[in-house]
Structures are given as structure tokens and as C-alpha cells.
A and B are shown apart, each in its own frame.
Chain A
Amino acid sequence: MSRTIIQMNSIIKNYYIGTPNELHILKSISLEVEEGDFIAIVGASGSGKSTLMNMIGVLDRPTSGEYILDGISIKRMSDNQLSDVRNKKIGFVFQTFNLIPRNNALKNVELPMLYAGMDRKKRVERAKELLSLVGMGDRMDHQPNELSGGQKQRVAIARALANDPAILLADEPTGALDSETGRMVMDLFHKVHEEDGKTIVLITHNPELAEETNRVVTLRDGMIVGDRPGSGKAAV
């Protein structure tokens, strides 16, 4: 029996509401993701992918519909509560890595734990553990500008895992990397998925990468037009 981590019921997102330019970006999206799943959301640009990612990552609120994340409805939450949900439940991995400049790898990984109010000793200990896990144990005191793209993304993954989030939300994580380092990053996702049983949502426009996951959800014009099993790691 696995739990439902993401439950979206008829999510609608409109922009410029009430103006002649009103845009309907997401048109009644319903999606359920089970704990421990590794899913890919694919779609061309303009399909509403990014907006859906913002919804899943609680960076934005739906115009209507209900989103229950790890058993909690975010509907009536204040901005501060949403911040706390992002902090504890979501681990973001960005295409452009988004490490904080002038903060070494260790500090970057510590940051979500700092916001969570964890004390320094525990924070440093866990950050070191995570950096070792992603194979960056020997570069903990390096500044972001001293790291290669692949190394940055590994630090970013360690940071995303810091507060042991319910989901790892990766937006084109290999988009800025060459195929070799992209492969390494994907392997890291598989490792985290298999060893920790972490729920992973991968947003991509690359069908090959999507095929590596357990489930491929296809988005077009703000609607889910396909939802099928992927080939999993066998596709690698």
C-alpha cells in the first residue's frame, strides 16, 4: 500500500483574469502521484509544463481546484505557510543550478536547513553526509564559481535533499549540461530513487530522459493528453 503524495483535483490556472487578454494556462488538471514514484512530465514549450511545475512546487496558487501535498491541502495557506511547505516538502533542482553565489557548497546545502531552524551542528553534519552521497565530499568548501556544471548540479541535488522532502522536483536538470555529465546527474536521480525511495517529479521536454522514469505524463495546451508507464531504468 503506497501513499498518495501529490493529489491534484481539477486544477485551473488563468492569468490576466478579468481582462480581454485572459490566458487559460492549465485547464482542469487532475493528477495523482504515489509515494516512491519517479515520474516525468513532458510537453512542448507553451504546454503549461512550467506552470504545472510551479503548482506542484507550491510557488504559485491555482485559480481553482484543489492540491493536496503529502496529505495537506495548500488552499488556505498563508504565504509564510507556503514558504514552510516549500522548505520541508519540496526539493527543487533547477536547470541553471541556482547555487547561491559566495556561499561554498557546504553553505548552499545548509541553507534549507538554516531556514528550517535546524541548529548549526546538525546542519553541518547532514550537509557533509549529503555532499558525500552525491560524490562532492571533497569539494565542500568550493565556491559555486569554482565548480563545473555537473558538480554544481550535484551540489544542488544535495541541497534539494537537505530537509528530506516529500518530493524532489527537477526542472530540466540536465538541460544546461553536456550529455556525459547529464547522464551522471540522471544516474544520481536513479540512485536517490532506488536507495531512498524518494518521490521524483522530472519536468523535461526530452523524450529519452522521460522514458527512463516509471511514468510519463504528457501535457499539451494545458491539459494532460497522455499518461503511460515508462520503461524505467531499463531504458538507459
Chain B
Amino acid sequence: MFLKENVILAVAGLRANKIRAFLTMLGIIIGIGSVIAIVSIGDAVTNNVSDTMAGLGANNIYVYVAPSDNDSIYGQMNGSGTEKMDDSDLLTFEQIEQVRKKFSNEISDLALYESVGSGKAQDGHKYANVTIYGANPGFGSVENVDVQKGRFLTDRDISGNRSVAVVSDKLVSNMFGSGTDPLGQKINVDTSDGVESYTIVGVYKYVQQGFGGAAVADKDISTTLYIPVSVAKETSDNQNYSSFEIRLKNVNDTHAFTDRIESYMKRLYANNPKYTCSAYNMENMLSSVTSMMGTISIAIAAIAAIALIVGGIGVMNIMLVSVTERTREIGTRKALGARSSYIRMQFIVESVIICVIGGIIGIITGIGLAAAGVALLKMKLVISVPIIFISVGFSMLIGIFFGYYPAKKASQLDPIEALRYE
């Protein structure tokens, strides 16, 4: 009833009392703003993580040895098995080759690797930070290493224990600039174990992943330097492998094959009391990330709900003050023939307008905060349109819910008392 007139009236009322209106809205602004900011940043992170994982391959399966009392991926990642594994607990090269042969119909590539540590390629005052990885030829295709010049590591590099390396284009530009052909060049790499010299046989295109590099100057970003896994094993404590990764020929097999390979691998460890072998794919990983984000979202939603309830109570408080202040106006309106329902509607509309304007300011603030946060994390801003509509709708609901009691109180005023009110 008279919606348009009530809206105009409510807006005029708010404009007449701007500071009070703003303070009233503040709770709603903070509540809605934080929801929008957190949800947008959360979406950006989730998107980033899933992009990264999709890049890693949906048809990849990761197989790893882990303590049998804690075979979850987290246990493995947290290194909760503090006890050192020795070669007898690990997978031998022959066992892994066995896997490759047995499942040759399904497996397209198999990656072996050995983390060596970080180091620094140096030549006079020119340098490049590197993370050194021992890898086999299969690693290049399993991990989508984008070789642009030369080649990736070969079986002969492995069997010959050759001191060769595949480096990033970033390292090349740091060390040689654009003029020199990097292939065949020698680089000296400082590590904690001393200086090693490698001949560059290939250059791959560096792709930044995840959250890395936010706090580091572009020049100092550490890129991966791949050397033959056999060379990496020379300095390693273990000659056997704690994990390997496979790429399947058919992405649709991923789920079923993860189970198959896991049961096959577990049989190899049936007699080992301390360790077992598990497998997981990106789908598992993605769902655990998604469920983690879900948990965070619920926590944020709870905080936001509290902020909104507090905001709503603020609105109710001001509406009650407003009703008292306008007692005589209410009496006059009743004398002029306003039904109680008209008065109630007038105050509910006013409360809804406060909340919706607050909600809209909150949405804008939230998107601004999210944009700043996302820029800081060097990710892409994702604005969810449904959440904007939900926020506006929710603001309206808060307005109706917390405006109802003051409005009802206003509508029930006795016109005689109200007209007499000083």
C-alpha cells in the first residue's frame, strides 16, 4: 500500500538525518561487506587452486609410501611420520618398473623425482635462484613441463648419470640475457653440498603457480632446475623412492584406476608393519580443498550472521527511537484516516530502505576489499552475482524482521495519546 510514497518518504527522512542514517547502517554495512569480501576472496582462492590442479592434470595419480597408522594425505604432507624411512621401506626402481609394465595399457607416463634442495646458479655478479629436482623422462609429460628450446631429460641422461640440466627461461634471461643461445652452456650451481656444474640441454617456460612470489622480487623468484634423477640420487640418503606419479591415457579411468593401483600397491606392503602405500588423484585433492573452503565459509558465515544480527538490533533500536520521536506525526496520520496497517507499512518500508541501502554500500565496500585482497594475492577477482542478490535479499529480510516490532508499536499507538504527545 502506497509503496512509492513510503519509499520517497523514507529516503527523505534518511537524507534529513544523514549521520544517524549512516551510523544505523554501519552494522549492516560491516556484516554484508565482510561476507562479500570473504566469499569473493574465497572464490578467487578456490578458482586459483582448482586452476593450478587442473594444470597439474586431472588424469594424474600420485602414489606414495606413508606410515600405516596414518595413511591420509595430510599425514604424509605434514611429515607426521617423523621416523626416517630406510630403503627397505621404500619402493625400488624395479618395483616401479613392474607397475609400469603391469599397467602399460592404462599408464601413458610415469614420473620419478627426487628433491635435492635449493641453490643458486652463479656467474660473476649474475645469478638465479633455483630449486633442484631430480627427474626422469616421464616427469616432463606428467607434470606438463613446457620445453621451448632443446629437450627434456632422456633415458640416456639417467643411465649415463650425465651432468645435464633443463632450466627455466627465467634463469636463462637472468644468466645469459637474450643474445646468447643457452643450449650447451655450462652453469655452476651452489648448494649446501658444494658447487655442481651442469650443461644446459633444454629450456622450459616458467609458469608461476599458487601463491608463490608475492613477497619476492621478480628477479629473485626461485625456478626449478631439472637434473637426471640418477644424478640426484648420488647425493641422497635413499636409493629407493617414496613416491611416484603416473599419467593415465584416459582421464575417465582416473577414479577407478586410483583404487586399482592402490590395492596393488598395498599388497606389496602387506608384510610391512610400519608403512603402507596409498594413491590419490587431483579429484580427491580438489574435494579436500573444497571441503576445507566450505568449513572456512561456514565459520565466516557464522561471524557475519552475528554482525548482521547486531546490525539489525541497531536498526531496530533506531526505529524505536524514530517511532517515539514521531509519535505526534503518527497521531496526525491516524486522525487523517491512516489505517494501522498503513502506519505499520510506512515504518517497515523505512527499516527495509535503511537495511537495503546499508546492504548495497556493504556490497560495494566488500567488492572493494576483495579486489584489494585479491590483488595482493596476485589472483583474479571473481564476483559472484548470486551472492549480490542474496545479500540484497537478506538485507531486506533483516529490515522486515527488525523493523516489524517498532512498526507494530507505531501502528498500535492510540491516536488520542499520540496527538497529545509532547
CB closest chain-A residue, reference B331? A98
Please give, as numbers and ranges, the residues of chain A lying within 8 Å of B16 by CB-CB distance: 102
B320-355 vs A, CB cutoff 8 Å, 1 = contact: the mask equals 000000001101111111111110000000000000
Please give, as numbers and ranges, the residues of chain A lying within 8 Å of B2 by CB-CB distance: 114
The answer to whether A79 and B337 touch across the interface, beta carbons within 8 angstroms, is no
Q: How far is the CA of A98 from the CA of B415 in the complex (A)?
A: 13
Instruction: For the complex, count residues of B whose C-beta is within 8 A of A.
Output: 23
Please give, as numbers and ranges, the residues of chain A lying within 8 Å of B336 by CB-CB distance: 86-87, 92, 111-112, 115, 159
The answer to whether A84 and B337 touch across the interface, beta carbons within 8 angstroms, is yes
Please give, as numbers and ranges, the residues of chain A lying within 8 Å of B234 by CB-CB distance: none
Interface residues of B in 1-45 (CB under 8 A from A): 2, 5, 9, 12-13, 16
Please give, as numbers and ranges, the residues of chain A lying within 8 Å of B5 by CB-CB distance: 114
A89-104 vs B, CB cutoff 8 Å, 1 = contact: the mask equals 0101010101011110
A88: CB under 8 A from chain B?
A: yes
Please give, as numbers and ranges, the residues of chain B lying within 8 Å of A103 by CB-CB distance: 9, 12
Please give, as numbers and ranges, the residues of chain B lying within 8 Å of A159 by CB-CB distance: 336
The answer to whether B335 and A92 touch across the interface, beta carbons within 8 angstroms, is yes
Interface residues of B in 86-144 (CB under 8 A from A): none
Other-chain contact of A94, B332, B333, B334, B341 (Cβ < 8 Å) = B332
Q: How far is the CA of A79 from the CA of B340 in the complex (A)?
A: 8
Please give, as numbers and ranges, the residues of chain A lying within 8 Å of B337 by CB-CB distance: 83-84, 86-88, 112, 115-116, 163
Please give, as numbers and ranges, the residues of chain A lying within 8 Å of B313 by CB-CB distance: none
Shortest beta-carbon distance from B3 to chain A in Å: 12
The answer to whether A111 and B333 touch across the interface, beta carbons within 8 angstroms, is yes
Other-chain contact of B13, A54, A90, A102, A115 (Cβ < 8 Å) = A102
A24-59 vs B, CB cutoff 8 Å, 1 = contact: the mask equals 000000000000000000000000000000100101
Interface residues of B in 368-422 (CB under 8 A from A): 415-416, 419
Most chain B CB inside 10 Å of its own CB: which residue of A84, A94, A98: A98
Other-chain contact of A59, B9, B329, B338, B415 (Cβ < 8 Å) = B415
Shortest beta-carbon distance from B320 to chain A in Å: 18
Assuming A60-B416, A83-B338, A83-B339, is B333 touching A101 (CB within 8 A)? no
Please give, as numbers and ranges, the residues of chain B lying within 8 Å of A102 by CB-CB distance: 9, 12-13, 16
Q: How far is the CA of A20 from the CA of B135 in the complex (A)?
A: 101
A67-78 vs B, CB cutoff 8 Å, 1 = contact: the mask equals 000000000000
Interface residues of A in 111-126 (CB under 8 A from B): 111-112, 114-116
CB closest chain-B residue, reference A103? B9
CB closest chain-B residue, reference A87? B337
Other-chain contact of B335, A57, A79, A80 (Cβ < 8 Å) = A57
Please give, as numbers and ranges, the residues of chain B lying within 8 Å of A92 by CB-CB distance: 335-336
Q: How far is the CA of A101 from the CA of B331 in the complex (A)?
A: 13
Assuming A83-B337, A87-B337, A115-B336, is B416 touching A54 (CB within 8 A)? yes
Please give, as numbers and ranges, the residues of chain B lying within 8 Å of A100 by CB-CB distance: 329, 332-333
Q: How far is the CA of A59 from the CA of B337 in the complex (A)?
A: 10
Please give, as numbers and ranges, the residues of chain B lying within 8 Å of A86 by CB-CB distance: 334-337
Please give, as numbers and ranges, the residues of chain B lying within 8 Å of A111 by CB-CB distance: 333, 336
Assuming A94-B332, A98-B328, A100-B333, is B12 touching A115 (CB within 8 A)? no
Q: How far is the CA of A118 from the CA of B335 in the complex (A)?
A: 18
The answer to whether B339 and A94 touch across the interface, beta carbons within 8 angstroms, is no
Q: How far is the CA of A102 from the CA of B416 in the complex (A)?
A: 23
Shortest beta-carbon distance from B10 to chain A in Å: 10
Shortest beta-carbon distance from A160 to chain B in Å: 9
Q: How far is the CA of A11 from the CA of B337 in the complex (A)?
A: 23
A214-228 vs B, CB cutoff 8 Å, 1 = contact: the mask equals 000000000000000
Shortest beta-carbon distance from B409 to chain A in Å: 16
Q: How far is the CA of A80 from the CA of B1 in the complex (A)?
A: 14
Please give, as numbers and ranges, the residues of chain A lying within 8 Å of B335 by CB-CB distance: 57, 59, 86, 90, 92, 98
Shortest beta-carbon distance from A146 to chain B in Å: 14
Q: How far is the CA of A28 from the CA of B9 in the complex (A)?
A: 43
Q: How far is the CA of A96 from the CA of B16 in the complex (A)?
A: 22
Most chain A CB inside 10 Å of its own CB: which residue of B5, B13, B331, B332: B332
Please give, as numbers and ranges, the residues of chain B lying within 8 Å of A116 by CB-CB distance: 337
CB closest chain-B residue, reference A84? B337
Q: How far is the CA of A103 from the CA of B336 in the complex (A)?
A: 15
Most chain A CB inside 10 Å of its own CB: which residue of B16, B334, B339, B340: B339
Assuming A59-B416, A94-B419, A102-B13, is B339 touching A80 (CB within 8 A)? yes
Shortest beta-carbon distance from B322 to chain A in Å: 12
Please give, as numbers and ranges, the residues of chain B lying within 8 Å of A54 by CB-CB distance: 416
Please give, as numbers and ranges, the residues of chain B lying within 8 Å of A84 by CB-CB distance: 337, 339
Shortest beta-carbon distance from A124 to chain B in Å: 12
Please give, as numbers and ranges, the residues of chain A lying within 8 Å of B342 by CB-CB distance: 115
Please give, as numbers and ranges, the residues of chain A lying within 8 Å of B12 by CB-CB distance: 102-103
A182-194 vs B, CB cutoff 8 Å, 1 = contact: the mask equals 0000000000000
Q: How far is the CA of A59 from the CA of B418 in the complex (A)?
A: 11
Most chain B CB inside 10 Å of its own CB: which residue of A88, A90, A101: A101
Shortest beta-carbon distance from A86 to chain B in Å: 5
Could you write out 10 A-B pairs with CB less than 8 Å apart? A59-B415, A59-B416, A59-B419, A83-B338, A86-B335, A98-B328, A98-B329, A100-B333, A103-B12, A114-B2
Other than the known A102-B16, A111-B333, what 5 A-B pairs have Cβ atoms closer than 8 Å?
A83-B340, A86-B336, A87-B338, A94-B419, A102-B13
6 tightest Cβ-Cβ pairs between the two chains A and B: A87-B337, A98-B332, A83-B339, A115-B337, A86-B337, A112-B336
